[in-house]
Copies of this chain bind each other. A is one copy, B any other.
Amino acid sequence: MKNVARIQITSDNATQRHRSATEIRSEMILQALRNAGGRVTAPRRAVLDALLSGGDHPTAEDLALRVRDVHPDVAVSTIYRILEHLEELGVLVHVHLGHGPAVYHFAEDTHVHLVCRACGHTAPLPAATARSISRNVFNASGFQADLAHFSITGVCGACTTTQR
């Protein structure tokens, strides 16, 4: 009995902790949505879940696939509308990594992407470097750069070495 109780408490705590990571964050966002006069629907929850649980650079299509695991007939257009809405709320941003579809990000995770045109891999530019570059651009041109919206293409270190 004692043991069982203890185990249950532990288990509850674990569940609770797990929830705080993603679900509380999700709830906060849903609340912001409601505060802005929006409604909380199954597709919206599912998109947030997909964003919070999934990989790092999902496209709208990726998100649609994940959402459909749970709600099989959510339309892509719905996904796009939800993403647009979340961008307006300042929760998300979209980024163009290359010629293909855009990828989506939580706004707080914004970073500059280096995309190698030889191997296709994406690496983040260190935040300090990004800041220094923005400062550099600003000093030169008085321009407040959002370096994260489009990626920086080029050739990564590994591919430079390989190529010769």
A residues with a Cβ closer than 8 A to B are: 96, 114, 116-117, 123, 125-126, 128-129, 132-133, 136-137, 140-147, 149-157, 160
Q: In whole angstroms, what is the CA distance A18 to B131 when docked?
A: 46
Interface of A is mostly: mixed
Q: From the candidates B141, B152, B157, name the one contacting A114 in the complex (CB within 8 A).
A: B141
Chain B CB within 10 Å — which of A116, A123, A125 has the most?
Answer: A125
Shortest distance between the CB of A89 and any CB in chain B (Å): 18
Most B-side CB within 10 Å, residue of A96, A133, A156: A133
Contact among B96, B144, B154, B157 for A160, CB-based, below 8 A: B144
**Of all chain B residues, which has the CB nearest A96?**
B150
Partner of A150, one of B150, B155, B156: B150
A114 adjacent to B145 (CB under 8 Å): yes
Q: Is the CB of A157 within 8 A of B142?
A: yes
Ranked 9 nearest A-B pairs via Cβ: A142-B157, A150-B150, A129-B140, A145-B154, A149-B153, A144-B155, A146-B154, A114-B143, A144-B154
Known: A133-B136, A143-B116, A157-B142. A151 touches B152 (CB 8 A): no
What residues of chain B lie closer than 8 Å to A157, measured between beta carbons?
141-143
